[in-house]
Chain A
Amino acid sequence: MNPENYLYLSALLFTLGACGVLLRRNAIVVFMCVELMLNAANLALVTFSRMHGNLDGQILAFFVMVVAAAEVVVGLAIIVTVYRSRHSASVDDASLMKL
């Protein structure tokens, strides 16, 4: 199978994730879309690794997963805290720091 197809899939997933980040209001969904974008990037990295015949891309993908896991922990904690204090998970409501 042509490995380029994986790249098309990766671009599609990334675009879906980006649209979700830009268009959805619910912080949880935005968060999941961010994860989607990260994994789209991972897919591209692994594909490149396969195409070039070395392991660099795969190693980088592991790094991304580790960072994503850490990010999930911090991000979810923030979302939960915001929800507790404001009874809303909308990203648009959390705009208190503008003038």
Chain B
Amino acid sequence: MIGLLVGAPLLGAAVLLVGGRLLERTGHWLATALAAVSLVLAVTLFLDMLGREGEERALHQHLFSWIPVADLQADVAFRLDQLSMTFVLLITSVGTLIHLYSIGYMAHDPRRRRFFAYLNLFLAAMLLLVLADNYLLLYVGWEGVGLASFLLIGFWQHKPSAATAAKKAFVVNRVGDVGLSIAILLMFTTFGTFAFEPVLANANETGEGTLTAIGLMLLLAACGKSAQVPLQSWLGDAMEGPTPVSALIHAATMVTAGVYLITRSGAIFNAAPDAQTVVIVVGAVTLLFGAIVGCAKDDIKKALAGSTMSQIGYMMLAAGLGPVGYVFAIMHLVTHGFFKAGLFLGAGSVMHGMNDEVDMRRYGGLRKYMPITFVTFGLAYLAIIGFPYLSGYFSKDEIIYAGFSQGGAEGWILGGVMLLGAALTAYYMTRIMLLTFFGEKRWQPDAQGHEPHPHESPLSMTIPMMVLAVGSVGAGFFFDSGERFVHWLEPVTGLGHGDSPVSHGTVALAATGVMLLGVVGAWWQYGRRPVPVVAPAGRWITRAARRDLLQDDFNHAVLVRPGNYLTRGLVYLDHKLVDGVVNGTAASVGGLSGRLRRVQNGFARSYAVSMFGGAAVLVAATLLMRAV
């Protein structure tokens, strides 16, 4: 049953890739249907799980023994507990909606069948990742996600920028994957196994140094997949992929994998406070980093990408707080899944109507032309900025409260950073909203003279948006009422209580206050007066943020250039030293034989001389030897 969950989309990917032209007309429906099959299975399993109590909720399924070699026992086994179930529901539901949306969005693409095959592959890999019962199988899913993201980001491979972005995402992810593989090897040498249960159960009895090392390696892996500083640079460029892909990467799959990994390995991090501190720092830095980048981008998708980075930063931070935060990290992940998918699908809908224009300075006043998109996008917008009683309000406030609960100066710093992040979130989201849907229309004919005619998207695109909007509005309230979500996840992640210097109410009030501040700030800058079509030069911080806070320049200066020098040096050494020795040997042998050749002058008499000479020498030597 659990195997089928992964199997259905995997089958879809295989059939679509192998099926070829036969499935050109029906392939996308097949893919969507298989994603829906996964969703139905997930819901069935969920209802089944609700029927059981406490410890019995976790399901295990041993499929087969994968690598049975003496001490190395790797199984293909699944584990479905509350944490996996949450992810499975999110992945399959948002995934199915995005499949449905893509039917409309990719209607005119000649390679649509392939696109849906990759989407299915993405779902299957992500489901394998969250359902695996050991780290090695998780690693398989992890790599599968990396592969699928590479294929999808570079889907429009005829565009050099897309091909480069795909390669960049792949390479940066590889750096993180090295971390995961080292962590798995460390686990194996320490615990002798990599199944979740024994590793996590024995974590307490192991030396802190080892656990810190494992934790840091896991964090490196999480940074790669979840686009956290310092491995964040791929996320912005990943916007080169089709918009449904961005929605899938940002909401349901891929970037959530890092948070899952940290939460799943909670026992390891709990026992390694140093690693936890690093997770918190990474989360806090990324949270501000992403928000600042999001404030400056004019490309609607890149602004949203900055937003994702920042929101995942919140989740990382929460996960770094330990049992106080795990539940809320996952809760924010789920609510974020809803509103971020809604925002991306809305952005895709806008682009669909605007001839694939992505520059928000050329939108403006679209609320009249795209009412459904406006309303759904608007609801998701209210949810993400934390408008009271919408999804983001509950999940984000809980994380901020958990930050304050750290106590002391650390608590105040974390709380302050997160409140600042909340203000920035409100600012950049309001900016996107104002630039896109309000103000005057600023679009112009493109280079070929086609004036865009903004229009509402087809039903296959708007229905998923509506469903997601409902999720963005209601999910938070649903999870929070009666602390439903907390009770649900507590058996897996545990739950801690810190002593916060401020009360829940104060945090909520403060968060709402800074949110209003951000909204008013954005209105002050973009709502009061007409927006220039060409972006003004801006101050140094704006310019830096437009260049992703110089992350590429940094990577280029610190990694790429020395790497180039290194390879150039090695090539030089190869040419001069290695080739020099080889060529030198050949040349000296050649020269010597050229000189020896002259001895063969063709005169029989000179040969005779050398023969006599040789004979004379031999005789002389023999006599000499005898004399001695």
Contact = CB atoms under 8 A, between A and B. Distances in A.
B600 A98 contact: yes
Contact of B602 (A18, A21, A23, A95): A95
Contacts of A92: 603-605
B608 A97 contact: no
A70 interface: no
Interface string A41-83: 0000000000000000000000000000000000000000000
A1 interface: no
Interface string B589-628: 0000000010011111100110010000000000000000
Contacts of B597: 99
A94 interface: yes
B612 A22 contact: yes
Contacts of A97: 602
A12 interface: no
Contacts, number: 28
Contacts of A91: 603-605
Contacts of A98: 600-602
Interface in B193-226: none
B609 A22 contact: yes
Contact of A95 (B603, B608, B609, B612): B603
A94 B605 CA distance: 11
Contacts of B604: 91-92, 94-95
Contacts of B605: 21-23, 25, 30, 91-92
Contacts of B609: 22
Given A91-B605, A92-B605, A18 B612 contact: yes
B interface bracket (residues with beta carbon within 8 Å of A): 10 to 19
Contacts of B603: 91-92, 95
Contacts of A23: 605
A18 B603 CA distance: 16
Contacts of A94: 604
A30 B612 CA distance: 15
Interface string A22-43: 1101000010000000000000
Interface in B515-571: none
Interface string B380-406: 000000000000000000000000000
Contacts of A96: 602
A38 to B, nearest CB: 15
Contacts of A18: 612
Nearest to A94: B604
Q: A23, A94, A95: which has the most chain B beta carbons within 10 Å?
A: A95
A41 B605 CA distance: 21
Contacts of A99: 597, 600
A8 B604 CA distance: 29
A30 B601 CA distance: 19
A30 B608 CA distance: 11
B288 to A, nearest CB: 80
A74 to B, nearest CB: 16
B590 to A, nearest CB: 15
A22 B608 CA distance: 7
Contacts of A30: 605
A90 to B, nearest CB: 10
A22 B612 CA distance: 9
Nearest to A23: B605
Contacts of A22: 605, 608-609, 612
Contacts of A95: 601-604
Contacts of B608: 21-22
A98 B599 CA distance: 10
A67 B601 CA distance: 29
A70 to B, nearest CB: 20
Contacts of B612: 18, 22
Nearest to A24: B605
Nearest to A96: B602
A14 B300 CA distance: 107
B3 to A, nearest CB: 77
A6 B182 CA distance: 93
Nearest to A18: B612
A91 B612 CA distance: 17
Nearest to B609: A22
Interface in B47-97: none
A79 to B, nearest CB: 12
A25 B597 CA distance: 23
B355 to A, nearest CB: 76
A94 B601 CA distance: 11
A91 B607 CA distance: 12
A20 to B, nearest CB: 11
B92 to A, nearest CB: 81
B454 to A, nearest CB: 85
B592 to A, nearest CB: 16
A96 B600 CA distance: 11
A21 B608 CA distance: 8
Contacts of B601: 95, 98
A91 B603 CA distance: 7
Contacts of B602: 95-98
A84 B612 CA distance: 30
A94 B608 CA distance: 14
A44 to B, nearest CB: 14
B440 to A, nearest CB: 90
A96 B601 CA distance: 10
Contacts of B600: 98-99
Nearest to A91: B604
Nearest to B601: A98
B139 to A, nearest CB: 66
A97 B601 CA distance: 9
Interface in B323-372: none
Interface of A: 18, 21-23, 25, 30, 91-92, 94-99
14 contacts: A18-B612, A22-B605, A22-B612, A23-B605, A91-B604, A91-B605, A92-B603, A95-B602, A95-B603, A95-B604, A96-B602, A97-B602, A98-B602, A99-B600
Given A91-B603, A92-B605, A95-B601, 16 more contacts: A18-B612, A22-B605, A22-B608, A22-B609, A22-B612, A25-B605, A30-B605, A91-B604, A92-B603, A92-B604, A95-B603, A95-B604, A97-B602, A98-B600, A99-B597, A99-B600
- Closest A-B pairs by Cβ, 4 of them: A95-B602, A98-B602, A91-B604, A21-B608
Interface of B: 597, 600-605, 608-609, 612
